[in-house]
Amino acid sequence: MGRKYFGTDGIRGRVGDDRINPELVLKLGWAAGRVLGNGNGGKVLIGKDTRISGYLFESALEAGLVAAGMDIRLLGPMPTPGIAYLTRTLRAVTGIVISASHNPYYDNGIKFFSSDGCKLQDEVEEAIEAEMERPLKTVPSAELGKAERVEDAAGRYIEFCKSTVHSSMRLNGLKLVVDCANGATYHIAPHVFEELGAEVVVIGNEPDGLNINDEVGSTHPKALQRAVLEHGADAGVAFDGDGDRLIMVDHEGSIVDGDGVLYVIARSRLERSQGLRGKVVGTQMTNLGLEMALRELGLELERTKVGDRYIMEVLKLNDWILGGEPSGHVICLDRTTTGDGIVAALQVLEAMVVGNSSLHDLTRDMPRLPQTLVNVDLGKGDPARVMSAPVVKEAVADAEAVLGDKGRVLLRPSGTEPLIRVMVEGTEAPRVTELANAIADAVKSVLQA
């Protein structure tokens, strides 16, 4: 069955468009309640990030779910991985996240977690879509659901995050800058690091509904770099709007992306004999330098399609525990059930404390091949038509011929935004940038035509 609404990470779009509007979200809540409740009702958690449209869609979801006979527990602003954790520990039928992650405030989205804190299987999402095509019928009044707020949601999740490192681990003596992207971690992440003993400087912690991800957070790390240098911090951590990804900065102001985070955690697990099973999982975007550095440690890298759901599929299929993306989705399945920015940051900070090392020292042995990513706005264009156009295929072939076996080209549509992503990796930065721009120009020429 074709998927009409769900993408690679739930449903997402511009608020008010045909993919994310109050009428659709109300129907989505009802359909999800019907499928996941299986006619027996049950408890559903709803959490959100800080964008202004969260109020709108929270109410629409609540109405649809109640009409299907489901009871609601409202979490308020809560990081996506926190909702996954609470779904599992509060024994809910499902957890629903209202968020567009790293996107601007005028976008929003809906994604689901199953009762075990993992993202829904494709066939469940397809069943929800099928139910959405049916007329909405409210259960009898005596069977309608009720809604109440979970008052201690933030505290529960803060304690969970702290539990993912050794009970004796302290961050005393470390000064950290924490950038909350004016998003869902604003009232949680600073407390986690402070309660473990760190001196914390917080930025991006004043959400107003419109400033989420606005020149702050993991997609805009310059704010974090400036703050780390200004305050003489030992390290910095930036989250995205919903807190499931992170970017770090060392004391010199250098960025440590998801690949660097993954390397530090993998090496730390090996050095401390913490049972790093099997391969480390990355994606087609993972820098070749990480693959080379892991090989030096005796580890293999397995690549998947871009998207944390594909990383998760490979990890679970093989009973492996560690994977991630350069964008900062890092999954530690020996700690939690989904990508978690705060949990991943704690694993890196623990490696710094145990090894008495700086973040700069811990990432020094991982080379980075120059990599250029160019995003081309697709508008309403058809990505398959654009990527199969002769001029685009020719530009890709020319770049691959230049790079030979010392580089890679990746051309793909975004799974969450109307973009074509062009990535080129090689040994010479100027040439890599030149080739990426040439392919992007070919894509633009097709769209303009």
Q: What is the 3-state secondary structure (H, E, C) of 111-170?
A: EEECCCCCECCHHHHHHHHHHHCCCCCCCCHHHCCCEEECCCHHHHHHHHHHHCCCCCCC
C-alpha to C-alpha distance for 14 and 374, rounded to whole angstroms = 22
pLDDT of residue 420: 93
Structure tokens at 303: 């690549």
Confirm if 80 and 338 have CB atoms less than 8 A apart. yes
Class of domain 371-448: alpha beta
Rounded to 5 degrees, what are φ and ψ at 224? -70, -45
pLDDT of residue 1: 44
C-alpha to C-alpha distance for 274 and 271, rounded to whole angstroms = 8
Beta 94-98 vs 43-48: how paired, if at all? parallel
pLDDT of residue 2: 58
Class of domain 156-363: alpha beta
The pLDDT tens digits along the chain (449 residues) read 457 899 878 999 999 998 899 999 999 999 999 999 988 889 999 999 999 999 999 999 999 999 999 999 999 999 999 999 999 999 999 999 999 999 999 999 999 999 999 999 989 999 999 999 999 999 999 999 999 999 999 999 999 999 999 999 999 999 999 999 999 999 999 999 999 999 999 999 999 999 999 999 999 999 999 999 999 999 999 999 999 999 999 999 999 999 999 999 999 999 887 768 899 999 999 999 999 999 999 999 999 998 888 999 999 999 999 999 999 999 999 999 999 999 999 999 999 999 999 999 999 999 989 989 999 999 888 889 999 999 999 999 999 999 998 888 999 998 778 899 999 999 899 999 999 999 999 999 999 88
In DSSP notation, 221-286 reads THHHHHHHHHHT-SEEEEE-TTSSBEEEEETTS-EE-HHHHHHHHHHHHHHTT----S-EEEETTS
C-alpha to C-alpha distance for 309 and 312, rounded to whole angstroms = 5
Where in the sequence numbering do the catalytic residues fall?
A: 101
Q: Which residues of the chain does CATH 3.30.310.50 include?
A: 371-448
pLDDT of residue 254: 97
Beta 43-48 vs 322-324: how paired, if at all? unpaired
C-alpha to C-alpha distance for 167 and 195, rounded to whole angstroms = 12
Q: Which residues of the chain does CATH 3.40.120.10 include?
A: 11-151, 156-363
Confirm if 47 and 78 have CB atoms less than 8 A apart. yes
pLDDT of residue 373: 92
| Architecture of the domain defined by 11-151 | 3-Layer(aba) Sandwich (3.40)
pTM of the complete model: 0.90
